[in-house]
Amino acid sequence: MYSPPSLRLGLPLVMCGLGAILAASPVSGQSVEQTVYAGVLDRSGAVVTDLTAGDFIVRENGVAREVLRAAKATDSLQVAVLVDTSAQASGAIGDIRRGVQEFIRAMGDGHEIALVGFGERPTVLVDYTRDRDRLLAGADRLFPQPSSGSYLLDALVEVSQGLQKREEARRVVVVLTLQGPEYSERYHRYVVDALAGAGVALHAFVVGSPVELADDDLRERRMALDLGASTTGGRQEDLLSTSSVPPKMRQLAEELIGQYAVVYARPQALIPPDSIAVSVRRADLVVHAPTALPQ
């Protein structure tokens, strides 16, 4: 019988994210090049692929930077897909499986993907691989754990801590979860700091009708997902129907593949900036890019 390994602190997981900043390289004696990754969508959610450096605006701590280059990012993505395998996912597991499989197929063979469940405890279901058949088979084995609860925030923190030991630039965590109780007992600021510090872009889809946030743990999870996504350059969306999961996951894969690498010049300074704002000159477009810089 298949018995997935438990996710432990420091397990060498490799993930990759939209909002990561690459290592600096010199431009002149006074400036260094920095790279920020950004996804750009039109109002319908379709990926925009025809932008150039002149279309982008980058500000650090409110100060405009010179944009040197902007082109489709070519380095591979490493993506962790965190799936709700708690008992509350029982009624939605079919659409969750299909959504994960849609994502895997749309990502193709050039990127490494891992599947992690967070029902009862964070558990690696499929370690990072480019083998689509292995990933699709792993998605087909997604089942809720009987009488288990959601430990999503624990999974996010443990995964982020492992990422701090990695050098990969493009790190993404994708979350599929149901509305319902959270058992991690984590403060949201701690989770957000772990994500931002590891340069991970968080994308979260929460399935089900919004619930009353009277419970402290549930409120902390909501704030962690909302703030984590906006800080790291991802998204957080509530999906009322489980049937929305497959098309949303396919759309996300298309955005990740179509992401831009935006290269800009930063003047050398003793104290590095801690915030960044990436926008485009067209008001009809939506940009997903980080707002905080790893320190």
Confidence of residue 27 (pLDDT cuts 50, 70, 90): low
- Could you tell me where the beta strands, DSSP code E, fall in the chain? 25-26, 31-42, 56-60, 63-72, 78-83, 112-117, 123-129, 171-178, 201-207, 235-239, 260-267, 276-280, 285-288
Domain chopping of the chain, boundaries: 25-72+258-288, 78-256
Mean pLDDT of the 199-205 span: 94
pLDDT recorded at residue 4: 46
Neighbours of 253 (CB within 10 A): 22
Q: Tell whether the model's pLDDT for residue 241 goes beyond 80.
A: yes
CA distance 261 to 235: 18
Per-residue burial over 184-204, b if 16 or more Cβ lie within 10 Å, else e, is bebebeebbbbbbebbbbbbb
Cα–Cα distance, 115 to 236 (Å, whole number): 19
- pLDDT tens digits for range 28-54: 558 899 999 999 999 998 999 999 999
Which tops the pLDDT comparison, 295 or 255? 255
Q: Which residue has the tokens 């979350």?
A: 175
CATH of domain 78-256: 3.40.50.410
Task: Give tens-digit pLDDT for 157-201.
Answer: 988 887 777 666 788 999 999 988 899 989 999 999 999 888 899
Token look-up 């994960």 returns: 100
Give 217's pLDDT tier (boundaries 50, 70, 90). Answer: confident
Sign of the CA dihedral 73, 202, 226, 242? positive
- Quick one: pLDDT band at residue 213, thresholds 50, 70, 90? low
pLDDT tens digits, residue range 66-120? Answer: 999 999 999 889 899 999 999 999 989 999 999 999 999 999 988 999 999 999 8
Considering the entire predicted model, what is its pTM? 0.87
